[in-house]
Amino acid sequence: MALPASGTLELSRIANTDGANSVGIVTPYTLRQLSILAGKTSTPNSISSFYNYAGYGYKNSSPDILHDFGLSNRYPTNSSNIIDTSGNGRNGTFVTGTGNGTATNVTGYTTSFPANIATQTSSQYAIKLNDIAKYGGTQSFTWLVWFRCTSFPTSYNGLISCEGRSGSTPIGHSMYISNASGTTINYQRWDGTTGNQQTISLTFGSGGIPAFVSGKWYQAVVIYSSGSMQLALYVNGTGYTITTANSYSVATSASWSCFAGLRYNNWLDGNIGYVACYSSNLGSQAYSDLSVNTRLRYD
């Protein structure tokens, strides 16, 4: 199914009145906003660019999970259900608490463009992702998130993380933002056999990366593939990366879920706009393209 290939096409039909074929956004909206959400970022924008459009915002390649919070008509606040906009049906759950969390109705969802969802420490709100996002062992994967951080009640605000404990031993892996030593984006991976850990980091205000700005939107990406882990950060459309060898096999547990906005017991105080998870190496060109086609929502 898709929008028609020719003829009259109303703006309201593109926005929200044609079900799965629409972008899925509440009023008010403009053609420019609909075009940005659909990844049609070139100008001038036109109704005809939506001929044959398949709906549901912008999707790069074939994600296992996609939570595109910009699609404000897709996220009701009277339930805990977090729709998987990839079409795979791997819905998430809005939760409070850690471990596997406790489902609670969505709170802190902003429908005005660019729509997004808040996570926070005081109420311990986060998004529990479908278990496929755990990516245990040495499985290749990509985690990608658009986020903004507004404060640091703790020093290790989770972005996407599947970290827990086996007894007192840390297990899993996590992407997080920290202010423990400067402000850094980090990916940490724990060896499920030895308990050793390895962390790679990118530091704001260093190595050409602009200084951190509270409340500013950033895109962060982690890729693990073929014994190598890579961390990327996009600021104002420019990408910064670090890559290092790592062969650790990650242990996961049914007692610890994968979350957006939570690392073990450290919540992101801020907002999340877009979460994508892939069971493969998405590749630097693809996540660069994704940045190009989503950043105008935020920059």
CATH 2.60.120.200 residue spans of the chain: 65-297
Contact between 270 and 153 (Cβ < 8 Å): no
CA 146 to chain centre: 5
Contact between 271 and 215 (Cβ < 8 Å): no
First to last CA, the chain: 32
Return the pLDDT at 72: 95
Q: Does residue 164 register a pLDDT over 80?
A: yes
At 37, give phi and psi (nearest 5°): -65, -30
Give a three-class secondary structure readout of the chain.
CCCCCCCCCCHHHHHHHCHHHCCCCCCCCCHHHHHHHCCCCCCCCCHHHHCCCCCCCCCCCCCCEEEECCCCCCCCCCCCEECCCCCCCCCEEEEECCCCCEECCCCCEECCCCCEEEEECCCCEEEECCHHHHCCECCCEEEEEEEEEEECCCCEEEEEEEEEEECCEEEEEEEEEECCCCCEEEEEEECCCCCCEEEEEEECCCCCCCCCCCCCEEEEEEEEECCEEEEEEEECCEEEEEEEECCCCECCECCECCEECEECCEECEEEEEEEEEECCCCCHHHHHHHHHHHHHHCC
Return the pLDDT at 299: 85
CA distance 148 to 212: 10
Return the pLDDT at 1: 75
Q: Give pTM, 2 decimals.
A: 0.97
Neighbours of 162 (CB within 10 A): 25
| Amino acid (one-letter) located at 38 | A
Query: Taking the alpha carbons of 72, 74, 76, 80 in that order, is the dihedral positive or negative?
Result: negative
How do residues 60-112 score in pLDDT, each as one tens digit? Answer: 999 999 999 999 999 988 999 999 999 999 999 999 999 999 999 999 999 99
> Two tokens at 206?
């260093």
Question: What is the CATH architecture assignment of 65-297?
Answer: Sandwich (2.60)
Return the pLDDT at 106: 96
Return the pLDDT at 17: 93
Return the pLDDT at 123: 95
